[in-house]
Amino acid sequence: MRGNGRGNAKNGAPETDSELAVGADAFVDRGAGLEVAVVGAGAVGSTAAYDLAREGADVTLYEKGQVASGSSGRAAGVCYNAFADDLDAEIGAAAIERFRSLSSDDTFPFVECPYVWLAREGDEQRTAHIREGIEAMQSRGVVALEVDADELAERFPHLRTDDVAVAGIAGAAGYTDPARYTACLAAAASGAGASVETDTPVEVRVDPPRVVLEGEGTEREFDAVLVAAGGHTKAVLEAAGLPIAMKPYRVQAMTATGTLPEPMCYDATDGFYARPHPDGLLAGNGTEEREIDPDDYERGANPGFADELCERVAHRFPEAELDGAKITRAWAGVCTATPDGDPLVGERHDGLYVATGFQGHGFMRAPAIGSRIADEILGGEGIDAFDPTRFSGTESFDIVEGMAIEDKPR
């Protein structure tokens, strides 16, 4: 194998006081001599490529389109650590902390903003789940508060609360621009010595791990290949003879003019989320619980989706000035589901790694997942609960919307 081609992270990466502004002395040679291909320049793939390159690995980041042109560029950018499961909470907290350390005026914004999730009066099942979840979070050290309608109104007077049965508040939360985050991490990976190959579709092969440039037949062998291609990951691996238990599904979101103040909010009963946005607000969760072809799906939102969602947001934020609001963008993206609701992250076959199946939480976990999978490729421990080999890949399962306030499917 070739030696590593790493360089100074300031030579191509943004000049900034964030974690991305590291000098040559910040590099560790743990990956020296290791050649790694990363397939997919979304948030997880770009983060992993950066972490691998700054550890001294010789990294090539392949993307069939442009950086962040897939699911990451269509993500909502909502970030929080409000998870009741131990591992999810740990990863969520690590991701939030890293969003903070990576962000700056010169890279991408991370706007601190409380996250509220709530259930309405009469929704007994979700009310019970929220209360149980908050109790579990608190027992695990997650800063989450349970409040009733009056307490919620006192904290957030712009939020309608008269129909709220219970709400949770997480302070370790915020939002960002997913496309800018991903572009910054890809640029930082390049600055750390990685080669970023856009408009370069590839096929993956195993025994040994390698990639083949589509249309050219050019083949290159690597010590390790990471497939982090979002909804396309299933097709990429199946073409290599490695089935995985993952299904891509379609979700919808929109931005509109208006004035949406704090907090970010998920109305579990009405099934939507909303956050502040430079245009005014961003809202979504138009989930379709059926498998789709990530190369052939409607990328625009369904007719009437945005107007109907604006009405629902206006109910929760009556002072947001949404009467007559202008829809500035309405789109659809792709999320990925697994049989048990946990992602597939780790080694799928000798030297072939995967990171997919995030149930709509992929972007918000990207800073931590990218770090964890890079560490595993460099010889560290994997995440046992996310081991992709826990499934044969032939399982039959239903798609369950990832943000729903309910138990994970088992």
Place of tokens 């990363």: 38
In this structure, the answer to whether residues 131 and 229 fall within a common structural domain is no
In this structure, the answer to whether residues 230 and 253 fall within a common structural domain is no
Task: Using only the alpha carbons of the chain, give its radius of gyration.
Answer: 21
Torsion of CA 129, 132, 133, 135, to 10 degrees: 160
pLDDT score of 410: 35
In this structure, the answer to whether residues 321 and 191 fall within a common structural domain is no
Can you state the angle between helices 43-54 and 362-377, rounded to 10 degrees? 30
Give the DSSP H/E element, type plus range, for residue 14: none
Tokens describing residue 311:
């009405």
Tokens describing residue 242:
């490695």
In this structure, the answer to whether residues 195 and 299 fall within a common structural domain is no
Check the CA dihedral 7-8-14-19 and report its sign: positive
Residues with Cβ within 8 Å of 394's Cβ and at least 6 positions away in sequence, in order, are 243, 245
| Alpha helices (runs of H) in 3-148, residue ranges in sequence order | 43-54, 86-102, 124-139
pLDDT score of 20: 77
pLDDT score of 21: 65
| Residue 83 within a domain | no
pLDDT score of 407: 54
In this structure, the answer to whether residues 64 and 153 fall within a common structural domain is no
| Residue 402 within a domain | no
Tokens describing residue 67:
């950086």
pLDDT score of 3: 33
Count of the separate structural domains present in the chain = 2
Share above pLDDT 90 across residues of the chain, in percent, rounded to a whole number: 85
Region class of 304: left (phi > 0), else alpha (psi between -120 and 50), else beta: left
Residue 392 β-bridge partners: none
| Residue 258 within a domain | yes
| Residue 138 within a domain | yes
| pLDDT digits 0-9 by tens, 78-108 | 999 999 899 999 999 999 999 999 999 999 9
Kindly report the pTM of this predicted structure: 0.93
CA distance 192 to 188: 6
| Residue 88 within a domain | no
Last residue of a domain, one of 305, 337, 369: 337
Tokens describing residue 196:
């970023």
| Residue 97 within a domain | no
In this structure, the answer to whether residues 307 and 345 fall within a common structural domain is no
β-sheet with 219-221: strand ranges across: 202-205, 210-213, 219-221
| Alpha helices (runs of H) in 104-255, residue ranges in sequence order | 124-139, 149-155, 178-191, 233-239
- Residue 316 to residues 134, 269, 330, 384, Cα–Cα distance (Å): 22, 12, 20, 40
pLDDT score of 28: 66
Give the DSSP H/E element, type plus range, for residue 53: helix 43-54
pLDDT score of 245: 97
In this structure, the answer to whether residues 205 and 120 fall within a common structural domain is no
pLDDT score of 17: 57
In this structure, the answer to whether residues 327 and 185 fall within a common structural domain is no
Question: What's the CA angle centered on 332, arms 331 and 338, to 5 degrees?
Answer: 160
* Residue 174 dihedral angles phi and psi, to the nearest 5°: 175, -170
| Residue 295 within a domain | yes
In this structure, the answer to whether residues 255 and 291 fall within a common structural domain is yes
Q: How many residues does the chain have?
A: 410
| Residue 395 within a domain | no
Closest CA to 273 of 152, 407, 148, 405: 405
| pLDDT digits 0-9 by tens, 174-219 | 999 999 999 999 999 999 999 999 999 999 999 999 999 988 889 9
Tell me the CATH number at 383.
3.50.50.60
In this structure, the answer to whether residues 158 and 253 fall within a common structural domain is yes
pLDDT score of 135: 96
Last residue of a domain, one of 337, 371, 404: 337
Tell me the CATH number at 314.
3.30.9.10
Mean pLDDT of the chain, nearest integer: 91
Full domain range(s) for residue 150: 112-172+247-337
In this structure, the answer to whether residues 254 and 329 fall within a common structural domain is yes
Give average pLDDT by consecutive 10-residue segment, the chain, 410 residues: 33 52 59 95 98 97 96 96 93 96 94 98 97 95 96 96 98 96 97 97 96 91 98 97 97 95 95 95 92 96 95 93 91 97 97 97 97 97 97 94 60
Is the distance from CB of 337 to CB of 399 less than 8 angstroms?
yes
pLDDT score of 85: 92
Closest CA to 246 of 339, 330, 160: 339
CB count, 10 Å around CB of 304?
A: 9
In this structure, the answer to whether residues 144 and 260 fall within a common structural domain is yes
